[in-house]
Amino acid sequence: MLSFAVKRSRAYWAALLVALGAMGASQSVLAHFLLIYTPEVNLQRAGSVTFKLIFWHPMANGQVMALTQPKAFYYLHKGKRVDLLPALSPIEFTGVANSAPAFEASATFNRVGDYVLVFHQAPFYEASENKFIEQIAKAYVNHAGVPGNWAQALGLATEIVPLTKPTNALAGSTFTGQVLAEGKPVPHADIEVEYLAAEPDMDTNRPKPATVVPPPGGALVIKSDANGYFTFGIPRAGFWGFAALGTGPATVYEGKALSQDAVLWIRAYELK
């Protein structure tokens, strides 16, 4: 179904890797990412917005993993929390490799400013690694361009706090964030970086054609500094995800190792 007929120019990927900055090697070939997706995160009008919630390997358009009922799903706007669990509807998302349970949900955004969406996944058993993965993902929607509290920490078990506005970063510039666990900086965290190479089709629950192929060497990884900060050079427009691995306080679930990860999604644009 999906073609990766993208020209693999050595010069292109060399430029991409330079733009990405100093990347470490990862044990993982494919990165697990909890995705909160809607095509447009900058809203000009009030109204209902539909989201797809998918547990996936988005840069490789690889295996889709099953999502079960999450621990929490909500948005925050100017200090008000709105529970979105009742809005969840199960779907089947079909990637290039397989199909698996996912969710969709709609939320109404009537007031201007920033909306922070939080999806706290139930632990997922990854048999190939003999461990559980539990991700707490954040994504942002802005209405009318009015600034809000996008840089505010939420006090989650683990989270990435953006220090660059997450709804309109610029390709060719940088993104800076801070990894926290229960409000405290996490030093020297491994942070996997993914580009949403094949955006989900909102009507068919399948990925659109991929726009890039993954670079060689497995997952892209950067490190936070001694105070939990990291900076990433954004090489192209689109959705970028960051996953700080094993940064949460929970380390065991049902007698097996647990990786409690913080995930953050941002939207970058070309400057025209």
CATH, residue 99: 2.60.40.1930
pLDDT at 259: 98
Tell me how many domains the chain contains.
Answer: 1
CA distance 250 to 260: 6
CA distance 140 to 188: 25
Structural domain including 41 reads: 10-269
Mind listing the pLDDT tens digit for each residue in 220-259?
999 999 999 999 999 999 999 999 999 999 999 999 999 9
Question: Quick check: 202 and 253 in contact, CB under 8 A?
Answer: no
pLDDT at 21: 35
pLDDT at 272: 86
In a domain, 4, yes or no: no
pLDDT at 27: 34
In a domain, 39, yes or no: yes
Mind listing the pLDDT tens digit for each residue in 115-150?
999 999 999 999 999 999 999 999 999 999 998 999
Backbone angles phi, psi at 10, to 5 degrees: -60, -40
pLDDT at 231: 98
- Can you name the residues that pair with 258 across neighbouring β-strands? 132
Single out the residue of 113, 111, 94, 110 nearest to residue 102, CA to CA: 94
In a domain, 2, yes or no: no
In a domain, 210, yes or no: yes
CA-based torsion, 16, 21, 22, 28: positive or negative: negative
CA distance 6 to 2: 11
In a domain, 46, yes or no: yes
Place of tokens 């693999």: 8
Q: What is the pTM of this model?
A: 0.89
Cα 241 → chain centroid: 4
pLDDT at 135: 98
In a domain, 56, yes or no: yes
pLDDT at 31: 80
pLDDT average per 10 residues of sequence, the chain (272 residues) = 36 37 38 95 97 95 95 97 98 96 97 98 96 98 95 98 98 98 98 96 97 90 98 98 98 98 98 89
Burial of 7-23, coded b for 16+ CB within 10 Å and e otherwise, reads eeeeeeeeebbeebeeb
pLDDT at 14: 36
